[in-house]
Structure 1
Amino acid sequence: MISKEHYFDYAATSPVDEEIVKNALELSLEHWGNPSSIHEAGTDARKVFEDARKRAADALGVKTESVFFTSGGTESDHLALTSVLSKPQKGSIVISAIEHPALREMAKMVSLCGWKTITVNPNKDGIVTAETIAAAVEPDTAFVTVMAVNNETGAIQPVNEIANALVEKANGKRKPFFHVDCVQAAGKIPLDFLKNPAVDSAAFSAHKIGGPRGIGILYLAKDMNSFLKGGGQEKNVRSGTENLFGAEAISQCLSKYCISEKNSASIARFEKQGKWTEDFIKQLMEIKGCVMIPHCRGKEAGAEFSPWVVQAAFPGIPGQVMERALSTKGFYISTGSACSAGHHSRPILDTMQIPPKEKESAVRFSFGHDTTKEAMDQLIKAVKEVCQAFFH
């Protein structure tokens, strides 16, 4: 069995919280009916399902009726984005260039249906500013999407500022629908921006925070006409037989890991990780040849970053070579998004204009709630050994 101790690829997926997953499985075995059936077995399962919805909503700090269960972050993103296809007139959508492929690639498909896609690049720090988003919005823009935390750089995007800028740009008229991919944010940073009424929807995924794969949440602050139709479950937003096991699991994960004022344990863990990551970056920067990506990371800068994701480059050592070398030592990292594994392109780094040698050698270290300071220090030692072997 692979050891969790030296696992540093939490941005790809997290080891499951065994207690939560076992509890959710036992509950689903006990309440096995179809939650949409009107007989007793169905209504019994429906109660458990709705309890999970309320628990998830409470953890996120949103209204219960705004939570819709999906098959994961990708489907949540797709449901929001493809809703524009149900509109009677075509227009434009604005998408940041640092989005996950779930949105970036689906935007290409939406453009094939006649919608104009406007892509907004980040600055050199990996930040998509409110000013650039507002400037990109056109009179017929119906949809805007910017992720909360970038999955490769860890850069925290100014979601509140973007939401407010969209309202200001609308100048009293209807603003574009604003969607936020929160897959790398839930359980990792505070989600205060969900309180902003200008944030219309958000996507979440269980497997990034100790839950099983195949379950996610779409938060909807207001009604949305889903383009995808079926049996009408989840108020016609996401059809398909309800996944009681998944709903129970993700709701428990959010309840345990979401960072909020009423969850002192999660706040303490967040603050501790911040200190550990600050020290980790300092140790990385002491390694000869190491370059932080973006370059401002670890320096006094205005940009904010998630303490759970760090990206660095070691020019002269291809990223995949570093990944394999560390793997042979029992340390598991990645070169970027797991959804792009096998592809050598790095579109997010391209948009940040990262030099080719740095881009080719960039690797991602990502941490989770099971990560220890001792393990992070051991990782630094292993990275040093790899670098010394190449640059002796």
Structure 2
Amino acid sequence: MIYLDYQATTPVDPAVALAMRPWIEEKFANPHSPSTWGREAAAAVELARDRILTAVGLDEGRFAFTSGATEALNWAIRGTLERSERRKIVTIATEHAAVLDTCEWLEGRGYQVVRLPVDRDGLVDLDEATLAIDPRTAIVAAMLVNNEIGVIQPVDTLAELAHRAGAVMLCDAVQGFGRVALPDGADLVALSAHKVHGPKGIGGLWIRRGHEPRPLLHGGGQEHGLRSGTQSPMLCVGFGEAARIATERAGADHAHVERLWQVARTTLGEGWTVNGSVEARYRGNLNLRRDGLDAARLVADLRNIAFSLGSACASGSGRPSHVLRAIGLADREARSAIRLGFGRFTGEAELQSACRHIDRVAREQQEWAA
């Protein structure tokens, strides 16, 4: 199996797995217990928190662990609205379902939601953003690196507009953390461990001081009194180690991904069109289409290669990608698109092999249809 689905999840780094193991075996204590073992577990959680804060690299903030980025995004949006008298949310049409579905739920409860359009490259329309972000806006929510097409949004520019209007800036940095610089202007930043070679089931919210959202969960008052629930030292340690390695390997990982992007583009050859901006993009995400291709059939025909049609969270719905539709693709074009995701543990030779097979089977499919 050749794994090319890094946007869905990344392989756990062996060093992360090694660091986690003691905390599921002999070091199983509750980190909120006053016992010696509990204090040891609590210290491990705090070390992990410090490593994540270092990797985030933003000032005047703290980090709260959550069950994942979906919880972090829900908490950020709903918790911010609960502490504000404003009732308007501004976001982008290409956001992850964790943001769009939360906004839709809030819209049904009387909040105003503005979904900003994007251009053919997938970049937000800043003129529309300037008009939409006004003194009625409580929060602006934008994804740093799009999970489907890899486009990098101008989050700092949106943050300037948000702050000028007195609104809070939320950045979904799930796909950008450890890969591109995080925006200085963000007030809230959602993260996920399993997108940076860490474990599933844990993420978190970086919070600029003074912008703490109201809690979604109530109970023991853990996580600065903002997010109740017993933390898993194993998962926290895994996230912290993944963040540490991402910081340490940032330059090497970036260079490797740039090389893999060139290998994939060269090997696939002509007949493929990249979806979204090529320049304003994280290049470990290659979303592309081919005229007349039945992408779902291609995935089924190449079972020894793991790649996708788009967001793993929306797979199986049968609907064309809302991201591809937002950049102006017709349903037929959207259904001819695939997403290849690669990174730290992808080898050049295996990527070349996979791309040759993908291109060959795609051409055969077109020949049979002719």
TM-score by length of 1: 0.88
Equivalent residues of 1:131, 1:165 under 8 A apart: no
C-alpha distance in 1 between matches for 2:120 and 2:310: 18
C-alpha distance in 2 between matches for 1:46 and 1:178: 31
Cα shift at 1:63 = 5.5
Equivalent in 307, 311, 319 of residue 283 of structure 2? 307
* Distance change (3 Å), C-alpha of 1:389 and 1:257: same
C-alpha distance in 2 between matches for 1:190 and 1:326: 35
State the match for 1:242 in structure 2: 231
State the match for 2:207 in structure 1: 220
Cα shift at 1:279 = 3.8
Cα shift at 1:33 = 2.3
Cα shift at 1:85 = 4.0
Cα shift at 1:164 = 2.2
C-alpha distance in 1 between matches for 2:13 and 2:226: 29
State the match for 2:265 in structure 1: 281
* Distance change (3 Å), C-alpha of 1:103 and 1:272: same
- The reply on whether 1:389 has 2:364 as its aligned counterpart is yes
C-alpha distance in 2 between matches for 1:201 and 1:338: 24
Cα shift at 1:88 = 6.0
Please, which moves more after superposition, 124-133 or 108-117? 124-133
Equivalent residues of 1:226, 1:238 under 8 A apart: no
Please, which moves more after superposition, 81-90 or 105-114? 81-90
Equivalent residues of 1:142, 1:176 under 8 A apart: yes
Cα shift at 1:64 = 8.8
C-alpha distance in 2 between matches for 1:82 and 1:189: 27
* Residue type at the aligned position of 2:10: S
Equivalent residues of 2:267, 2:356 under 8 A apart: no
State the match for 1:93 in structure 2: 89
- Secondary structure at the counterpart of residue 66 of structure 1: strand
- The reply on whether 1:292 has 2:274 as its aligned counterpart is yes
C-alpha distance in 2 between matches for 1:388 and 1:89: 57
C-alpha distance in 2 between matches for 1:110 and 1:79: 13
TM-score by length of 2: 0.93
Summarize deviations over 1:104-158 as a string: whole Å, max 9, x none.
Answer: 1111111222211111011110011444322211321101001000011110111
State the match for 1:166 in structure 2: 162
Cα shift at 1:249 = 0.4
- Secondary structure at the counterpart of residue 82 of structure 1: helix
Cα shift at 1:160 = 1.7
Equivalent in 219, 229, 237 of residue 217 of structure 2? 229
C-alpha distance in 1 between matches for 2:13 and 2:60: 24
State the match for 2:300 in structure 1: 324
* Distance change (3 Å), C-alpha of 1:381 and 1:242: same
State the match for 1:26 in structure 2: 22
C-alpha distance in 2 between matches for 1:28 and 1:387: 45
Unaligned runs of 5+ in 2: none
Cα shift at 1:7 = 0.5
Output the aligned Cα RMSD.
1.9
State the match for 1:255 in structure 2: 244
Cα shift at 1:41 = 3.0
Summarize deviations over 1:3-27 as a string: whole Å, max 9, x none.
Answer: 3xx1100100112123312321214
State the match for 1:45 in structure 2: 41
Equivalent residues of 1:35, 1:46 under 8 A apart: yes
- The reply on whether 1:187 has 2:205 as its aligned counterpart is no
Unaligned runs of 5+ in 1: 298-302
State the match for 2:146 in structure 1: 150
- Secondary structure at the counterpart of residue 146 of structure 1: strand
C-alpha distance in 2 between matches for 1:162 and 1:47: 37
- Secondary structure at the counterpart of residue 302 of structure 2: helix
C-alpha distance in 1 between matches for 2:351 and 2:227: 40
State the match for 1:342 in structure 2: 316
* Residue type at the aligned position of 2:142: V
